[in-house]
């Protein structure tokens, strides 16, 4: 029954009109979205490859709703120049803010184990703010997120608060973050392909022919080897109370399942649609 429901959700989502500002999947992540949507156990609900933006907003405490009064002065999914920033700020009449927003991807997964696989790939690829939620209707959403964003106020009531040198510095900083963002996107795609291949091979192998799985800390076993071999299979051997997470008939209450367990299995460490895109 759940497989049938998931298929219906997927068909409905992928047949919707893309209502994002751009109206299509960002080019730098189109291969990831295509890969996931081509698999029966996944479909993407929203995504953004990462962007540099300048928005004009109402001052803090303004009685108006800021989002409704937000004016987009500049947006780019690629690198920017200082001249781009200067040109955008010339049109500011409120409080202009420069932001770098890294890659984000939301994937609905058929089973909890499928979401855990994507979560492990995301953590290994540098997206350490990733996590998943399970709704009462059984919807399992995996969010791939990073923490290396940037947000800097630049003007107040239309008056520029910084000099030209600082704008050049911000352009360089935002571009560096965009470069790192693209490197992580490439790692995510490569690691996802590897994990899916490993998963497929493990499902095909009879239980009595599979080689013993190494445990963390065993001599000669590296974190890289774990990420390419037994991590996902060992995760399936853990008991997860899926029924408790999926009971109910609404989506308003979700249960956060961020991964202390996943970080432990992967050894921890430091680190840094169809859509519609956001």
In the DSSP assignment, the letter for residue 277 is B
Q: Are 122 and 258 in contact (CB under 8 A)?
A: no
Q: How confident is the model at residue 262 (pLDDT cuts 50, 70, 90)?
A: very low
Q: Hunting for tokens 């470069």 — which residue is that?
A: 179
Is 117 a residue whose pLDDT tops 50?
Answer: yes
Q: Where are the domains of the chain?
A: 24-192, 205-263
Choice between 63 and 26, residue whose per-residue pLDDT is larger: 26
Is 246 a residue whose pLDDT tops 70?
Answer: no
SS3 content of the chain, % helix, strand, coil (to 5): 40, 20, 40
In the DSSP assignment, the letter for residue 229 is T
Beta strands in 161-259 (DSSP E): 254-256
Is 182 a residue whose pLDDT tops 50?
Answer: yes
Q: What average pLDDT does this structure show over 151-168? A: 95
Give the whole-angstrom CA distance, residue 85 versus residue 53. Answer: 9
Least confident piece of the model among 88-97, 117-126, 197-206, 261-270:
261-270
Give the whole-number percent of the chain exceeding pLDDT 90. 55
Give the 3-state secondary structure of residue 168: helix
CATH of domain 24-192: 3.30.1960.10
Q: How confident is the model at residue 205 (pLDDT cuts 50, 70, 90)?
A: low
What is the chain's length? Answer: 278
Q: Hunting for tokens 């001052």 — which residue is that?
A: 59
pLDDT tens digit sequence for 70-88: 899 999 999 999 999 999 9
Sign of CA dihedral 91, 96, 98, 101: negative
Closest to 35 (Cα-Cα) out of 135, 107, 138, 141: 107
pLDDT tens digit sequence for 38-66: 999 999 999 999 999 999 987 665 544 45
pLDDT given for residue 162 in this prediction = 95
Distant-in-sequence, close-in-space partners of 250: CB < 8 Å, separation ≥ 6: 135, 136, 137
Give the 3-state secondary structure of residue 259: coil
Give the whole-angstrom CA distance, residue 121 versus residue 259. Answer: 12
Q: How confident is the model at residue 131 (pLDDT cuts 50, 70, 90)?
A: very high
Give the whole-angstrom CA distance, residue 195 versus residue 188. Answer: 10
Give the whole-number percent of the chain exceeding pLDDT 70. 67
Q: What average pLDDT does this structure show over 159-171? A: 96
Give the whole-angstrom CA distance, residue 78 versus residue 178. Answer: 7
Give the whole-angstrom CA distance, residue 102 versus residue 174. Answer: 10
Sign of CA dihedral 241, 246, 252, 257: positive
């Amino acid at each position: 029954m759940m497989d049938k429901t998931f298929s219906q959700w997927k068909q409905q989502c992928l047949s919707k009109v893309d209502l994002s500002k751009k109206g299509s999947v960002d080019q730098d992540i189109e291969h990831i979205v295509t890969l996931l949507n081509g698999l029966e156990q996944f479909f993407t609900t929203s995504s953004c490859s990462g962007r540099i933006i300048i928005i004009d907003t109402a001052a803090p405490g303004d009685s108006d709703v800021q989002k409704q009064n937000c004016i987009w002065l500049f947006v780019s999914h690629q690198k920017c120049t200082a001249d781009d920033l200067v040109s955008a700020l010339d049109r500011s009449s409120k409080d202009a803010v420069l932001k770098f927003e890294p890659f984000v991807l939301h994937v609905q997964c058929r089973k909890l184990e499928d979401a855990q696989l994507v979560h492990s790939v995301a953590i290994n690829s540098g997206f350490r703010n990733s996590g998943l939620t399970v709704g009462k209707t059984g919807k399992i959403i995996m969010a791939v997120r990073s923490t290396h964003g940037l947000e800097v106020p630049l003007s107040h009531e239309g008056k520029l608060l910084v000099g030209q040198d600082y704008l050049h510095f911000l352009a360089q900083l935002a571009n560096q973050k965009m470069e790192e963002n693209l490197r992580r996107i490439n790692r995510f795609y490569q690691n996802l392909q590897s994990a899916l291949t490993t998963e497929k091979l493990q499902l095909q192998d009879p239980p009595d022919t599979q080689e013993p799985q190494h445990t963390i800390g065993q001599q000669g076993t590296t974190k890289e080897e774990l990420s390419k071999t037994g991590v996902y299979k060992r995760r399936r051997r853990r008991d997860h109370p899926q029924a408790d997470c999926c009971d109910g008939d609404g989506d308003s209450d979700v249960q956060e399942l961020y991964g202390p367990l996943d970080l432990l299995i992967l050894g921890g460490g430091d680190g840094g649609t169809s859509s519609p895109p956001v």
